Every structure is written in structure tokens, then in C-alpha cells.
Amino acid sequence: MTVHIWCPRPSDSAIKLRDAIRAHGIKCYKTKADQGYGASTRFISRIKLTDLVVNWGPSGLATNSLNYTENSNKMQQLIMLASAGIPCPEVFDTPAPDRLGRSFRHQCASDLIRGNGQDYYTQKLPFVRECRIHVFRGKSIHAGMKVPRDGSAHPWIRSSASGWKPDYGQASRIKQDRRDLAKKAVAALGLDFGAVDIGILKDGRAAVIEVNTAPGLDGSTVEAYAKQIIQVHNERST
């Protein structure tokens, strides 16, 4: 049985995940990036019925693969979360001074940094802290508070591209209700896994900012995901 990571774009995290799974003696491959037209056809042609497919970012190729979803963009994600009663920023079609312009498939808050998001708009909430909670099949497998990498970090855009990083040494600061909220968010989207960014307001209320299906991985986070994928691999192999 082989593990295939479906990620038809450059991704250091997907490659790290592939290598970590291989280190445990399991065959694992990542889709070659920038294959152009027909990439999915070539990818599917290599897969056997007994293989495990992990969708890393894209919505998926087969209903029995990990993280298959028909959720196509970040706006739809927020609408689905709100419909499920998950607290999250409100979505709008038009701009306003208290709204943030977003792109459907933004990564690392690049649309906020550049100020060029025009696909939809979200309510700007005054979060004082943010945390990232990784959920896999209903379990919180890793969690950390977001902290500045250095003195050049953006004052409120807390992404890796704006000078922030999750500090997983601060996992004990994250309350159980935040972890439960992250689990509910992943379940509401019909996902097997996701890295849930949660913003915390001054009064302690929390809201889900987004669920990342291809999160940045490094160090212990790589092993956390590899362990869970290997477990699914082993379950399907028996």
C-alpha cells in the first residue's frame, strides 16, 4: 500500500510530510508541481484501489481519500462555518471601512498584506491573540499561540508571511474550549484534518478565522501529521 499526497503545486510542507512518512518505511509520493493540463489524470492513473490518497490543499479527487471536500474556496468555507453555528467573521459582497478584502484562495494572508483582495469581504474583528490548532480525525494533535518572529512582525496580520509563527511550546495556554471549537470547525466542513486559526477578542470570546487544508509544517508539526497518516495507512492495510 502506497501513500499519495495530492498537491499539484510547489509545497515545502508536502515534501517534508512525504519524507517523514518515507522515514517510517512506507512508500509515499507527492504530485509533481506545475504539471499543467492532465495532471489529475496522470496522478489517478498511478493509484491502486488499496492506496491512500491525502489531499493537501486541493478539494480532492476521490470520495474515499483523506480531506475530500466539495468546498471550493475560503468564502464558501466561512459561509459553511456560520451555517453550522461556528463563530467566525461575517461575509459581505461589498467593501466598507470596517471590512477586509479577501481573495477566494488566499495563502499566508497575501491578499491582506498586498491589500488586493476583492473577491469578497469579511468583518474586521479586533483580535488581541491568535492560536493555531491542528485537528486530525476529531483529535487535537498539535496547538500553539501565534507569536512574532522578530520586531518586523505586522501588528495584526498574524501569518508567516507577515512575520508571525505558531509557538507550539505554548500549547498549555490554549483552553479546551478553543480545541473543541477547532474540532467542530473541521467537522462542519466535512474535513478529515485541518489547521484552524482562531482569533481571541479582548473579552475572551473566540472566532474561527479560517481552516487551512495545506498548513505550513515544520519540526514537530511534520511528525504530528505523519503519525496520523501512518495510522490511517496501517488501519487500511489490515
For residues 58 and 34, the answer to whether their CB atoms sit within 8 Å is no
**What pLDDT digit, counting tens, does each position of 140-196 carry?**
999 999 999 988 999 999 999 999 999 999 999 999 999 999 999 999 999 999 999
Which residues belong to CATH 3.30.470.20 in the chain?
74-90+124-212
Give me the residues paired with residue 145 across strands.
131, 167
**Residue 111: strand, helix, or coil:** helix
**What pLDDT digit, counting tens, does each position of 97-141 carry?**
999 999 998 989 999 999 999 999 999 999 999 999 999 999 999
Q: Which residue shows C-alpha cell 491512500?
A: 52
DSSP output for 7-40: --S--HHHHHHHHHHHTTT--EEEPPTT--TTHH
For residues 198 and 174, the answer to whether their CB atoms sit within 8 Å is no
Give me the residues paired with residue 53 across strands.
4
**What pLDDT digit, counting tens, does each position of 70-105 carry?**
776 999 999 999 999 999 999 999 999 999 999 998
Q: What is the pLDDT of residue 43?
A: 75
CATH superfamily label, 74-90+124-212:
ATP-grasp fold, B domain (3.30.470.20)
**Residue scoring higher pLDDT (50 or 158):** 158
Q: What pTM did the predictor assign?
A: 0.94
Rounded to whole angstroms, the Cα distance separating 42 from 45 reads: 5
Rounded to whole angstroms, the Cα distance separating 178 from 206 reads: 7
Q: Flag whether pLDDT at 50 surpasses 90.
A: no
Mean pLDDT of 46-53: 86
Rounded to whole angstroms, the Cα distance separating 44 from 67 reads: 16
